[in-house]
Structure 1
């Protein structure tokens, strides 16, 4: 079989869609979109059915639109042509989360749906376990902790994964004399930032507080290393989940560290007004050294600067005794679960088996989702993001912890937007003077959302 390649170029439309989707990976941003679109959701619901079915028809709820939906529709038609099983795709406009919450409440769920990062925390009670399927053994080890519940069940076929970490410009690091493989603690990272500031014209850390998600991702990547990872010095995972955690008492170290970076001049001067595109262009053009974000922003950077030289490393540990950390979650448009009460279980499992085949999974990864392929038999050999992630896994292979995104696993629904607001408070002016106010914002909203 001919092996496929993905060059550095993805369409700007696909890249933009992916960035927006993951920026809203936290509940607050995505929920706000659903509520804001509620008035228009009914009118924009689209149903697409495959033709030529000779057997049962399964219903699937899906969240993509435009060219991505067209690409998926073409793939699904091939499934019907091969098996005779029909597929009816329901696309509820921009109100996917609201539509799914309504269907969960009514008990009238589709046979298959995309879980957009929530297969365990939100949907597991409605889904059937899938760890007995033939494709299960192909799932990359980095994603398994995020999609496995306490009983060892996996409820989703994951075709791609989303990864948050420290993206860096290799040319800037070379000029600064920084060996990123030696960045194992936040103190190491601070020294690397100082080297960038001293030896280059680049901004050490590119920051954006303009509703871009960049500021939220900094907390997304730092807080686990202080609070929830198994080797975190202030490990309080259970308290974070049950609502008894107090950010004002025990959550200050990460905020203090960020404040010190700000006061040291490590962030760009326009950090309060710069948008995501500005941040992406700065890193891709070697005007910045580091950007803490999801790897799903990299395709857009490749459209701005096709010959950019990027890499990614995991979030460092707090101490030398700790391990580096990657936040890994399900791809937003590429992870599929089956309703446990479907009347068409065999047909649904055939459908997932079809999607898991390398030629079909790769089409979803390239044309629909844009994330990192996470099935081991992928035939994609020249995927820029996949390759730099694998490079990082090799560099840090004995020093890695994988866990789900912090806001999805350890915070109540709605905290993603709180991360954004609290970072705005912290970085507006003299950051060291704003730490207490930022922590108060975190705690007040965390407590309210747990009620």
Structure 2
């Protein structure tokens, strides 16, 4: 029997944009493809809209209805999954297999899959060969940095956490505190969540002597081993290696501050480099892989797919949805989207002229590891990580207390996820 709450959620769908009621009122002469995406910037959305319009022109019998719910995306999709009434096409935003897998049509027979970057196989394919989604681009997250600052102070791009902290200290000392070594936009808690999530992989996964995969997956992980990241962040704060307004600073400040040569490192990637260049072409922004933590380990990219298009398997327009995916996967169109998002294409036959192309070429042999929370943490832990970072920086909790809180929430959310899974299978 379905959980009673599902009935309530079904009613909510009547007022959501792009739902069944809205579809029925669409022009009866055309089939309407409803698409939900997590694209966030104006340039990304503008390019997507332009390509959708080109598709409509080419397919006169199909209308494309694009939706960008922003911060409401996840909650909206949870509601729709609970009622099994999803958009015809939707963005799996890193959860193609784990969260959305049972709802997606298999795309393995599409031509573009032959050119899928092998780095994405483990994220978008299962052992039997099912392809869960078309990746519009792929993320390779590391540290964005001001090349001018490192050149001025004779600092090589750091490859280890020790080198990174040493670089931060050098920048603070030689700039006499005028430059923020490591900048956080902590008003948006995702800034701290990104720190924890990104550095958790070199701390707990990539080094064979410190591999906690099994314990994280089976729920026996000892969260005291996570305290290192909180201790490191707190020490940076005490030494004023991060911005003093780390808890209240907003993402909207980043571009201007970087363009003014007031920031050395940050975790923001994407279009940062090109946005800064538009304001001050003399400031050169680069990106490097995430530094290693344990001795003998190597730097890594953290990533996987960034934006995707998955087709809902029960959509009445699966054929048309696949036609739209095939259109977006054409090399010329895939190139446009990669360049609009300033991220590499997911297809090996597409060479995009993106801002960080030289950096990605230089570090082309560096391994890409999936986002930590997508593989090893229960749904909901991202928000917990972000709040924990805010509480640490605001001196509300100590590093040890942070680890205890994370362990409690980890167990609670795992249990909640297991319970919901059992209910959905009844």
TM range (shorter): 0.7 to 0.9
Whether 1:301 aligns to 2:276 is yes
The aligned counterpart of 2:347 is 375
Whether 1:349 aligns to 2:322 is yes
Contact 1:240 1:411 survives alignment (8 Å)? yes
The aligned counterpart of 2:33 is 59
In 1, distance between residues paired with 2:50 and 2:172? Answer: 50
| Deviation sequence 1:334-365 (CA, Å, 0-9, x none) | x1112334455444333221111122223334
SS in 1 for 2:363: helix
* Shift of residue 330, structure 1, vs aligned partner: 2.2
Whether 1:164 aligns to 2:135 is no
Residue of 236, 241, 245 corresponding to 2:217: 241
* Shift of residue 143, structure 1, vs aligned partner: 3.7
The aligned counterpart of 1:82 is 58
In 2, distance between residues paired with 1:289 and 1:251? Answer: 26
| Deviation sequence 1:259-297 (CA, Å, 0-9, x none) | 332333322222233222334433343222211234354
Distance 1:60 1:238, change over 3 A: farther
Contact 1:165 1:295 survives alignment (8 Å)? no
Whether 1:406 aligns to 2:380 is no
RMSD: 3.5
Distance 1:143 1:112, change over 3 A: same
Contact 2:35 2:67 survives alignment (8 Å)? yes
Contact 2:300 2:367 survives alignment (8 Å)? yes
The aligned counterpart of 1:250 is 225
Residue of 177, 182, 190 corresponding to 2:165: 190
SS in 1 for 2:332: helix
Contact 2:342 2:355 survives alignment (8 Å)? no
Whether 1:447 aligns to 2:411 is yes
Unmatched 5+ stretches in structure 2: 1-8, 416-426
SS in 1 for 2:401: helix
SS in 2 for 1:336: strand
Whether 1:415 aligns to 2:381 is yes
Alignment of 1:37-76 (within 5 A): 42=15, 44-45=17-18, 57=31, 59-63=33-37, 71-76=47-52
Distance 1:323 1:423, change over 3 A: same
Whether 1:390 aligns to 2:366 is no
The aligned counterpart of 1:204 is 181
Whether 1:119 aligns to 2:96 is yes
Contact 2:137 2:338 survives alignment (8 Å)? yes
Aligned residues: 398
* Shift of residue 178, structure 1, vs aligned partner: 1.1
The aligned counterpart of 1:174 is 151
| Deviation sequence 1:111-132 (CA, Å, 0-9, x none) | 3322222211211112133244
* Shift of residue 109, structure 1, vs aligned partner: 3.5
TM score, norm. by length of structure 1 = 0.76
Alignment of 1:138-153 (within 5 A): 138-153=115-130
Contact 2:269 2:287 survives alignment (8 Å)? no
In 2, distance between residues paired with 1:100 and 1:270? Answer: 34
The aligned counterpart of 1:361 is 334
The aligned counterpart of 2:419 is none
In 1, distance between residues paired with 2:181 and 2:44? Answer: 36
* Shift of residue 157, structure 1, vs aligned partner: 1.0
* Shift of residue 177, structure 1, vs aligned partner: 1.0
In 1, distance between residues paired with 2:14 and 2:385? Answer: 28
